[in-house]
Structure 1
Amino acid sequence: MELLKGAPVSAAIRAQVEEELARIKGPVPRLAVIRVGERPDDLSYERGAVKKMEAFGLRVQTYVFPEDISDETFKAEFKTINEDPDTAGILLLRPLPGQIRERDIEAMIDPAKDLDGISPVNIAKVFSGDSSGFAPCTAEAVIEVLKFYRIPIEGKRAVIIGRSMVIGRPLSMLLLKENATVTICHTRTREIQTVCREAEILVAAAGKARMVDETYVSDGAVLIDVGINADENGALCGDVDQPSMEARRIALTPVPGGLGAVTTAVLAKHLVQAALGVLP
């Protein structure tokens, strides 16, 4: 088993960010991270994003609101952040609590500041193949890893486990844009292991700890683990049962140490692009 580690990919993106940052004449771009409540996964992602922005020489400010904040109050607060001229980009940690109408927030966010591709404008661009919109950072990070390690995408059979609008569906569009042949699996997919074993590129984005074991892959496959989970002992793990893959002739992104670092690097890249007005 070959490990496709995220650190060298992140370092390559950092070099690109530093080059683009040198072109900015005004203030260093500032990211607004918006969190409602204290969900452990949100806290983990927030810590990673803040650390990455600071390491890349970018500014970041977190806005934290109580979990029981009303829909009306949150919208007013979000509007202020969204319209702040010093805010170059926004990362909204989701899902939001049930009392907040998340779709209204998605419609409110300025597409030019929507670094994680939640705006209907950016989603439409991703699905139409228009590269002038921001794609979700995790989906784009998958493409970054494949390209960094010079893994061919064109003509390859790619299978994605998971159909969410955060990863599965937008990633399918990004892979199609690279001329892969894409299949999306989900909870109703019959004989899912058989379908996955046909994949030359398999992306595990089911959100279920260690769901994907050796029965899901064929030798020679590239396996991208998107999952961030805690196992029964509280240890961090992905959607892939990595120990079961040790003897397999595959390439795998580990968890931790894999896609997470690339995702936050893509977020930093998007922030600088937003400040430069490159996208959308």
Structure 2
Amino acid sequence: MTAALMDGTAVARRSLDDTRTRVSAYRETTGRTPRLATVLVGDDPASHTYVRMKVNRCRQVGIDSLRRDLPAESTTAQVVATVDELVADESVDGILVQHPMPGHIDERAVFDAISRGKDVDGVTANAFLDMANGHEETFASCTPAGIVALLDAYDVPLSGKHVVVIGRSSILGKPAALMLLGRDATVTICHSKTRGLAQFVSEADIVVAAVGRPELIRGEWIKPGAVVIDAGYNEGNVGDVAFGPAAERARLITPVPGGVGPMTIAMLLAQTVSAAEQRES
């Protein structure tokens, strides 16, 4: 068996085309353009690359962008104050705080300073609570939302399926598990310290790898015919799954890059337009 690739770039392109259409309609109706503000703390090269990519995608679909770059030595209070200014700014529809931030910053305090209506990356405690309770008052975490959208695009059934999520971060693993549980999947959460990880993976109909360890998930662990979503991105364009061996057993698999990553940005921009639309309703 050789797995078919789940082309996140192509699926994201369709989403971006839809977002571009929505931006145009919103501008014609309201006379203004949706705006996404980004907050970046420090000089991490990867973070700067990610923010630049998001700003470029904004430009491509017609969304305005506003950057707030802060020095690495900024305090938590200073970063929170910047977020507070953007919350109060009526021209801003969505706020993205790029993570990770420098270790001395209290990320949770910064995230939770974002108002519900502008939390288009779904990172606040309120967003997590709403996902846990099945409510839709806030926006979903973008990468998990992108994973679910990609599964839907490839007509992968979720109800009753056993999904193993490897990873427990508050912005990826945990919200992904909650969203899949909300779609009636049976979800097992594992992590890098799980004993017998291979056994859990071998029983999964769908594997979501989001642990941040290069090729931690071995190809021989994959159940024949399973669907493999690799949300990891490590140095050298390597995911969390040993791609070649896994592709020999899986039915569908995401490449790295070109799988989950493009979907994350597509969800972010779609939710920014939704935030703008909700302000007008």
Secondary structure of the residue that 1:203 maps to in structure 2?
Answer: strand
In structure 2, the gaps of 5 or more residues are none
What one-letter code is carried by the residue in structure 2 that aligns with 1:99?
A: H
State the match for 2:10 in structure 1. Answer: 8
Please point out which of 7, 20, 23 is paired with 1:21.
Answer: 23
Aligned pair in 2 of structure 1 residues 216, 48: CA closer, same or farther (>3 Å)? Answer: farther
State the match for 1:262 in structure 2. Answer: 263
Structure 2 residue 157 is the aligned partner of structure 1 residue 155: no
1:142-177 Cα offsets, whole Å, 9 max, x none, are: 000000111111111101000111111111111011
**1:167-206 counterparts in 2 under 5 A?**
167-206=172-211
Contact 1:133–1:279 (CA<8 Å) still a contact in 2? no
State the match for 1:71 in structure 2. Answer: 76
Contact 2:36–2:94 (CA<8 Å) still a contact in 1? yes
How high is the TM-score relative to the length of structure 1?
0.93
Identity %: 33
Distance 2:163 2:36 in 1: 33
What one-letter code is carried by the residue in structure 2 that aligns with 1:260?
A: G
Distance 1:213 1:99 in 2: 35
State the match for 1:271 in structure 2. Answer: 272
Distance 2:217 2:226 in 1: 13
In structure 1, the gaps of 5 or more residues are none
Distance 1:42 1:115 in 2: 18
**1:65-214 counterparts in 2 under 5 A?**
65-214=70-219
Contact 2:158–2:184 (CA<8 Å) still a contact in 1? yes
Secondary structure of the residue that 2:118 maps to in structure 1?
Answer: coil
Contact 2:220–2:245 (CA<8 Å) still a contact in 1? no
Secondary structure of the residue that 1:97 maps to in structure 2?
Answer: coil
Distance 2:222 2:81 in 1: 48
Alignment size in residue pairs: 276
Distance 2:139 2:255 in 1: 26
| Aligned-CA RMSD value | 1.8
Distance 1:215 1:99 in 2: 40
Q: Shift in Å at residue 249 of structure 1?
A: 4.0
Secondary structure of the residue that 1:236 maps to in structure 2?
Answer: coil
Q: Shift in Å at residue 56 of structure 1?
A: 1.4
1:39-70 Cα offsets, whole Å, 9 max, x none, are: 23312321221222112121112211110112
Contact 2:247–2:253 (CA<8 Å) still a contact in 1? no
Give the number of the structure whose residues are more often helix, by fraction.
2
What one-letter code is carried by the residue in structure 2 that aligns with 1:202?
A: V
How high is the TM-score relative to the length of structure 2?
0.93
Between 147-156 and 119-128, report the one with greater CA deviation: 119-128
Aligned pair in 2 of structure 1 residues 4, 71: CA closer, same or farther (>3 Å)? Answer: same
Secondary structure of the residue that 1:153 maps to in structure 2?
Answer: coil
Distance 1:114 1:183 in 2: 27
Distance 1:96 1:111 in 2: 21
Distance 1:243 1:267 in 2: 30
